[in-house]
Amino acid sequence: MPVGNITRGTTNPNRLRRVDRWICAWPGLRTAENPLVVDLGYGASAVTTVELRERLLRVRPDVEMLGFEIDPARVTSARADLTRWGMADAHPPIRFELGGFEIPVPRGRSPIVIRAFNVLRQYDESQVVPAWNAMLAMVAPGGVLVEGTCDEIGRVSTWIALTPARGGSQSVGGNVGGPQSLTISLRLDGLENPSIAAERLPKALIHHNVPGDPVHALMNDLDRGWAVHAGLGSFGATQRWVATVESLKTAGWPVLAGRTRWKLGEITIAWGALGRV
Ligand SMILES: C[S@@+](CC[C@H](N)C(=O)[O-])C[C@H]1O[C@@H](n2cnc3c(N)ncnc32)[C@H](O)[C@@H]1O
């Protein structure tokens, strides 16, 4: 039996473009032998899995895509989608199978990337770490599990990057492996407050946006920086965002990545600053 529960299958074309852009830049993808990428919980349509594959093919023309769903009816309909779109025999292959958090990849294979988007949102928070552990156990060395959430049309997106331990145990709560960072990615044009991200935080964080918690402090500091740098808006929202991210860095937040990523409307914070496992 696949591990997990069937939940709502809501999806939309192009809603995962922000996280896909980030995945395409993951360094392990470029160096992986026979890259296998898993999309867990693709929902009522195959569309976001097909889109991820198209984006990945620009980086790795040999990428093999495997979508898992816990709902057998959605496996059947995703396979029908492939046939309808003339992709049933695509090379490199794209396939859809029944599966859950155990990630039943073929024996001897391990994914360099697992994307699990808008999946844990509908679970209880207590189920997050066991689900992470199950998925991380399957990630290849040098690979990443990307677990996150977004709004219906992908203007607000957040995700946690988790990596397997180098030395064996993948368990979250151990001193190696597990969550590494939180990324927030926003459409900057028309953005009123970056704390709009609070509504779309991953399950591990969404209930912690309360005064006194680092997640709440992060949302406040983003809003404050965005307000302080409002004047830069006349040079474009990107400059205003870059200044906002720089102000968080100056304030002591462990901001990862650099301006190239910030210019995309992203900010990535080292997980240790968020006060969780
Ligand atoms: C809201 S949809 C997300 C669709 C797509 N990933 C997106 O972001 O647009 C969540 C899907 O995850 C599936 N799901 C939930 N738990 C799962 C599990 N443990 N393993 C595989 N699929 C799961 C549900 O059946 C549902 O179709």
Domain extent listing, the chain: 17-185, 188-256+270-274
pTM of the predicted structure, to 2 decimals: 0.96
Which pLDDT score, from 0 to 100, does residue 171 have? 54
Q: Which tens digit of pLDDT belongs to each residue from 74-96?
A: 999 999 999 999 999 999 999 99
State in Å: Cα 262 to ligand 1 middle: 29
Cβ atoms within 10 Å, residue 88 = 14
- Residue 245 CB-density burial (10 A; 0-12 exposed, 13-18 middle, 19+ buried): buried
First-last CA distance in the chain:
28
Beta strands at 255-256 and 178-186: parallel, antiparallel or unpaired: unpaired
State in Å: Cα 176 to ligand 1 middle: 28
CB 258 within 8 A of CB 226: no
Residue 208 is given by DSSP the state: T
- Chosen CATH of 17-185 out of 1.10.8.60, 3.40.50.150, 3.40.50.970, 1.10.287.3510: 3.40.50.150
- The b-or-e profile of 221-233 (16+ CB within 10 A means b, else e) is bbbbbbeebeebe
Q: Is the CB of 172 under 6 A from ligand 1?
A: no
Q: Is the CB of 48 under 6 A from ligand 1?
A: yes
Question: In Å, what is the CA distance from 148 to each residue of 16, 35, 78, 140, 162?
Answer: 10, 22, 22, 20, 11
Residue 74 is given by DSSP the state: H
Q: Which of 1, 3, 5, 7 to mutate to test the pocket of ligand 1 (most atoms within 8 A of CB)?
A: 7
Mutual angle of helices 214-228 and 237-250, in 10-degree steps = 130
> Which residues have a Cβ under 8 Å from the Cβ of 159 and sit 6 or more positions away?
19, 22, 117, 146, 147, 148, 149, 182, 183, 185, 202
Which pLDDT score, from 0 to 100, does residue 268 have? 98
Amino acid at 18: R
Q: Which tens digit of pLDDT belongs to each residue from 23-36?
A: 999 999 999 999 99
- Give the residues of the chain that fall short of pLDDT 50: 174-175
Which pLDDT score, from 0 to 100, does residue 175 have? 44
Q: Is the CB of 146 under 6 A from ligand 1?
A: no
CA-to-CA distance for 82 and 31, rounded, in angstroms? 28
State in Å: Cα 103 to ligand 1 middle: 13
Q: Which of 70, 96, 119 to mutate to test the pocket of ligand 1 (most atoms within 8 A of CB)?
A: 119
Q: Is the CB of 100 under 6 A from ligand 1?
A: yes
Residue 106 is given by DSSP the state: P
State in Å: Cα 224 to ligand 1 middle: 35
Among the listed residues 182, 199, 192, the one whose alpha carbon sits nearest the alpha carbon of residue 237: 192
State in Å: Cα 68 to ligand 1 middle: 9
